[in-house]
Amino acid sequence: DAGVTQSPTHLIKTRGQQVTLRCSPKSGHDTVSWYQQALGQGPQFIFQYYEEEERQRGNFPDRFSGHQFPNYSSELNVNALLLGDSALYLCASSSEGRGNQPQHFGDGTRLSIL
Partner 1 sequence: QKEVEQNSGPLSVPEGAIASLNCTYSDRVSQSFFWYRQYSGKSPELIMSIYSNGDKEDGRFTAQLNKASQYVSLLIRDSQPSDSATYLCAVRYGSSNTGKLIFGQGTTLQVKP
* 94 touching partner 1, by CB under 8 A: yes
d(CA 58, CA 70): 23
How many residues contact partner 1, by CB under 8 A? 29
| Cβ 56 vs Cβ 14: under 8 Å | no
With CB under 8 A as the contact rule, the residue among 81, 103, 111, 113 that binds partner 1 is 103
* 93 touching partner 1, by CB under 8 A: no
Nearest CA among 25, 30, 21 for reference residue 3: 25
Candidates 13-21, 64-72, 74-82, 100-108; binding stretch for partner 1 (CB under 8 A) = 100-108
DSSP 85: G
In the complex with partner 1, the residue whose CB is nearer, 5 or 73, is 5
* 22 touching partner 1, by CB under 8 A: no
Contacts of 46 (CB under 8 A, 6+ apart): 33, 34, 35, 36, 57, 58, 60, 64, 66, 76
Find the binding residues for partner 1 in span 27-86 (CB under 8 A): 31, 33, 35, 40-45, 48, 50, 56, 58-59
Characterize the bridge pairing of strands 19-24 and 74-78.
Answer: antiparallel
Chain residues binding partner 1 by CB under 8 A are: 31, 33, 35, 40-45, 48, 50, 56, 58-59, 88, 90, 92, 94, 96, 99-108
